Chain A
Amino acid sequence: MAEKKRAVIVGGGTSKFGVRKATIHDMIQEAARACADDIPALKPADIDGLIIATTMAGRHSSALNTAPLVVHRLGLSPTSLCIRLDTLCAGSNSAVIVAKGMIESGIADVILVTGAEKVYAPQRWETNYTQLMVNDHDWDSAMGLGVPPPFFAMIARMHMKRYGTTKEQMAHVSVTNYTYGTDSPMAHFGGRSLTMQEALEARIIAEPFGLYDCCPLSDGASAIIIASEERAKELSDRPAVYLRGTGQHATHSMSAGWPGDTLAEWPHLKTAGEVAFKNAKLTPKDIDVAQTHDCFTISEIIELEELGFCKKGEGGAFVASGAIKQEGSIPTNTDGGLLVYGHPFGASGARQALEICKQLQGRALHQVKDAAFGLTHNLSGTCAQHTVVVYGREPVD
């Protein structure tokens, strides 16, 4: 019997995230160039599979059948896979799950996973308006739910009420993530810093959220290479980073189907995490570094709870204790996360995967000492779906 194929992440790169003077094609080309800089031996001809994760292509860019457009712009000629994938904010993290299966089954050898969004239209109102189409349009959106802050503000209020979480505890998330993201040159808010006072005194977006409790909408693209262990060795001398386990769980699309007792409980994330840990043959205690979906400060707090890094309800005190800092028990969003690096929906999962790849190869900007196991997580939609991937320096078996 042939030896089992294993999927590894080799490396990658991102474009500059932010409000960009660039088209979606420009940014995908920039991300691919950054990916090639990270993996000098990589040539377009090495890539036999392509997954482009995007939500807004076809909306703010006239690019509905996106995969062939990427093929042409990057000079690819894929033979195993050439698809567009959309799970909104989890797009390229979902693509990692698909790529893992394709590599392990032997159907593909070297897959380029790229995620990209052009969210800023020539007139700003259109960007907010389009958000009506990414929630459950005929129901929650028709109630006026467009951009996410109002929904997550209610989640925060509920968490404060049930578990005593404070605005100051939430600010620990943004202040910490700025310490990580400030020196990421490609980050939306790279070069900026944030003090506790600035975080607490910022203008209100939706009570209890100030400006820094909310991640930005960003233009941007990211690109990573997922390959078989054998092909990865030919492409790079760096240590292999294995895709050990994945989990993805959804229970609903609109508010009536919300699975928690209240908005402060996210049982669907708990399930997604448990599935990923089981497949990875690990527990939360094993994870050295995590990239969780910090679309809002409260999100990171609840994610740390539901993923099992702290007890339910204690996330606020946990982040305030310094647990998410570089020397803490679970350094989190070590490249700045969505709050600082920015959030071009489909591009965020691959950006997280790249940071975990660097951490486990020992070459991250904010290196966690001896990081051996890492985790990425995205939520998507109106907190409708959760996607978790677990990585390790050792294969799962």
Chain B
Amino acid sequence: MADLEKAEIVGTPALKGTYVSEMDMWPFECEEFNRIYPFYDNLRAGKFTTTKCKACGYVAFPPGVICPKCWSEDLEWVELPQRAKVVCFTETQAGAPIGFPSPLIMAWLTFGEGTPLKHLLGRIVNCKEGELKEGDEVKFVVFDVPSHPIDVKRETEVRDRVYYAFEPVK
């Protein structure tokens, strides 16, 4: 207890240089922690995918390990459209979470008739404040996000991560 009483550290001694999953902005993407890890592997290959039910044909988003319509486990990975239209959008001016750059542009996207994904909230990147307009076409883009450590037996390994957003079609 003597060390703790000295209180040399402001805050929590245990957190010095430590990854805390409770504070994680991004999903667990690795096979050890997530059964839909193929979604993230597909992102790395430039593909926007989800799970389709082989029993009833329903295409779910987000992907899962059962079909949310009929609860079948018999699923396959299918590709989703990579282009969407901006219905409306917001350029956050206050309260953006730490870790996201400002301006943080979020848009309500539609993917058009006949696609399984009706609409989606998507972050718009590679776009300056004031540039985006309603009706603009945007396309899917993948980028690296912070990795996290994982205990593998007695070693600590690092798992890289990616995520996706949309950017204006120019």
Contact = CB atoms under 8 A, between A and B. Distances in A.
Q: How large is the interface on B (under 10, 10 to 19, 20 to 34, 35 or more residues)?
A: 20 to 34
B27 A143 contact: no
Given A158-B108, A204-B93, A205-B93, A138 B62 contact: yes
B62 A158 contact: no
Contacts of B117: 256
Contacts of A147: 95, 97
B119 A255 contact: yes
A143 B122 CA distance: 6
Q: How large is the interface on A (under 10, 10 to 19, 20 to 34, 35 or more residues)?
A: 35 or more
Contacts of B97: 128-129, 131-132, 144, 146-147
The A interface, classified by DSSP as helix, strand, loop or mixed, is helix
A204 B91 CA distance: 11
A153 interface: yes
B121 A255 contact: yes
Nearest to B107: A154
Nearest to B108: A154
Contact of B163 (A128, A142, A145, A151): A142
A19 interface: no
A255 B97 CA distance: 19
Contact of A206 (B23, B90, B98, B165): B90
Contacts of A137: 27
B120 interface: yes
A157 B133 CA distance: 13
Given A138-B62, A263-B88, A144 B96 contact: yes
Interface of A: 125, 128-129, 131-133, 136-147, 149-151, 153-154, 157-158, 161, 204-207, 254-258, 262-263
Given A146-B96, A254-B62, A257-B61, 14 more contacts: A125-B98, A128-B95, A129-B23, A129-B99, A143-B121, A145-B106, A154-B107, A158-B108, A206-B90, A255-B108, A256-B117, A256-B118, A262-B87, A263-B87
27 contacts: A128-B98, A131-B97, A136-B62, A139-B62, A141-B25, A142-B27, A143-B121, A143-B165, A144-B96, A144-B97, A144-B106, A145-B106, A146-B100, A147-B95, A150-B106, A153-B90, A154-B88, A157-B88, A157-B90, A207-B91, A255-B120, A256-B61, A256-B119, A258-B118, A262-B87, A263-B87, A263-B108
